[in-house]
Amino acid sequence: MNDNVKAGKRRYNAPLRAAQAADRRHAILGAARHLFVVRGYAATTVAEIAADAGVSVDTVYASIGRKPVLLRELVETALSGTDQAVPAREREYVRAIGEASGAEDKIAIYVDALVAIQQRLAPIFLALREAASTDSSCARIWSEIGERRAANMREFAADLRGTGQLREDLSDDDVADVIWSMNATEYWVLLVGERNWTVERFRDWLVDAWIRLFLRDPTRPRDGAHPNGAAR
């Protein structure tokens, strides 16, 4: 076989290999998510993840990594909504927030994204919280993600400040800390999971609450919300 034919076969096979690798990664992440959520992180082995995904243990390690790396990837992909981690500043909703001119629009865009993320993230984030209580690697991941969230919220608060609409008696750190606490999975689980709020009610409540809490002259009531902050 001449060199031109060999090169052609390599070019032909490269997209196929990439697609196969993506399929394996998707299967592994799906298996890990299911087992971590249903059985728990500590009770799940890599061998069980591999068997559920239909691959070998070595393939799990080569494609993604060990259990803590798998758990981190599940959190990152839940945040991005894809099979790959996407830095916050490259996410579509973050760009949309930056392009919006008014604080109310920025808040609404962020909350719309948040409720979509929590529906993917909440089960695996609770699994991470549980794992962090017994596994040092997971504890580091938990801490790192919490600090990253806090830093991102300080940037969001500064962006809101740039509209000139924030209350002057609140610092950016005040605003960031309140958003950090109310965008947490635990807050979502309390209202949607335990109090049976609908996604729509949670969304309307959070938009209305943040506008009332942070803005100097908020528009009241918000569309879809009663003056008392409860959704219709």
DSSP state of 194: I
Strand partners, 231: 225
Average pLDDT, the chain: 90
pTM given for the model: 0.83
The pLDDT, as a whole number, for residue 3 is 57
Range 52-77 average pLDDT: 96
Beta-strand ranges (E) seen in 26-82 are none
Please enumerate in sequence order all residues whose Cβ is within 8 A of that of 104, keeping only pairs 6 or more positions apart, or say none. Answer: 165, 211, 215, 218, 219
Q: Which token pair is 112?
A: 């719309």
Average pLDDT over residues 141-153: 94
Give the pLDDT confidence score for residue 47 in this predicted structure. 98
Count CA atoms closer than 13 A to 49's CA, side-chain side.
34
Residue 143, number of CB atoms within 10 A of its CB: 11
Is the distance from CB of 128 to CB of 119 less than 8 angstroms?
Answer: no
Helix (H) or strand (E) holding 106: helix 103-132
